[in-house]
Amino acid sequence: MEVESKEWILAQYVGEGVPTSEHLKLRTSNLKITKDVLPDDHVMLRLHWLSVDPYLRAKMSSQQDGLYLSQFHLNQAVTTFGVGEVIESKHSGLSFGEIVIHPFAPVAEYCIAPASFLRKIDPDSGVSVLDYISALGIPGFAAWVGIVVLGDPKPGENVFISAAAGGVGVFAGQLAKLKGCRVVGSVGSDVKVKFLKEEIGYDEAFNYNVETDYDAALSKYFPNGIDIYLDNVGGRMLEAVLNHVNSRARIPLCGMISQYNKVWTEREGVRNLLNMVGKEVRMEGFMLASYMNRFGEFLEEMIGYIKQRKIVSEHKIYHGIESFLESFGSLFTSSNVGKVIVQVNKDAKA
């Protein structure tokens, strides 16, 4: 049996701005579904769900910069965190019909993968497949490392989270609340403000497009200062935060989405780093690969929260492999609430 498989390739590296159809192109190829085409200890997957994350932008850049991730190769498929179904196997531990997580899945409809890369999902775990991409995937793990490990929150502390209605921010706020903190988030629309306060449990939230004087906004929402700031945006917001930090505040740097589409000479600087000295502030960037030794601990804690309904997820689903370019571009606007995911085929079960 032979199938047609569409996949997104990087045709041209991206300098400034959001990738377009000039950079990312949809390519179609034919793939035989048979054991004969599989190397030993490999499986063939029909991909069901694909994660769409801002960090992928750094891998499409024309130069290694900032996140220091290896770049995608030109004319090869872009890869991301995905979930798929085994449709052919040459590995004794994986059988037809099993659902697996693939951390380096191509943005495609089908693929061949080494079995060693894959992790089976227990269909009787009581956890949604989508949670393995969001709460138990890259966004949830980033939130957990940022808040629980590096933030080390204490009950009663004041926590601020930027891009708070995004994939990471939704879980970061909930984790901080579970640790007994007061939590405030910044977002790009009034709809998101309402969402955070009414559905996610944030104590306060503000629209940075309305309250454009960030220094005044932080004075209003943090009269007693900021103890932990999970930074997802960088730029002017990070600078404003440094005027409101308490002694020994922690600032885990998860991402800086406001700066990704600019060359470094055009990015906004931070002029008040001296505040970190007098307040003895710790600012620390992190990459998830450095914390994989804590992944089992993270899963145990988060699965417990999910089953107790103490952590909830919000997903923005785009349909069809063709929607990847649109879904990726949406990350750099204020249009999405929650984790952005592509549903590759309409039969995929959540």
Residue 187, helix vs strand vs coil: strand
CA distance 263 to 280: 30
Instruction: Quote the tokens at residue 292.
Output: 């994989």
Class of domain 138-289: alpha beta
Q: Which of 326, 240, 340, 333 minimizes the C-alpha distance to 8?
A: 326
Against a cut of 0.85, is the pTM above it?
Answer: yes
Q: Which of 338, 346, 292 minimizes the C-alpha distance to 321?
A: 346
Q: Please, which residues have CB within 8 angstroms of residue 314's CB and are 6 or more apart in sequence?
A: 165, 170, 195, 199, 200, 337, 338, 339
77 pLDDT higher than 90: yes
Q: Which of 332, 196, 326 minimizes the C-alpha distance to 341?
A: 326
The residue ranges of every structural domain in the chain are 2-134+314-343, 138-289
pLDDT in tens, 38-51: 999 999 999 999 99
Instruction: Quote the tokens at residue 158.
Output: 């004041």
* Mean pLDDT, range 165-184, rounded to an integer: 97
Task: State the amino acid at position 119 in one-letter form.
Answer: R
67 pLDDT higher than 90: no
Better-scored residue on pLDDT, 259 or 174? 174
DSSP 8-state class, residue 76: S
pLDDT in tens, 7-59: 999 999 998 899 999 999 999 988 888 888 899 999 999 999 999 999 999 89
Pick the CATH number of 2-134+314-343 from 3.90.180.10, 3.40.50.720, 3.40.640.10, 2.60.40.10: 3.90.180.10
Buried b (16+ CB within 10 A) or exposed e, 195-232: bbeeebebbebbbbeeeeebeebbeebbeebbbbbbbb
- What's the angle, vertex CA 166, arms to CA 56 and CA 245, rounded to 5? 105
Contact 86, 124 (CB under 8 A): no
Contact 156, 228 (CB under 8 A): no
Instruction: Quote the tokens at residue 141.
Output: 């793990």
| C-alpha radius of gyration, the chain, whole number | 21
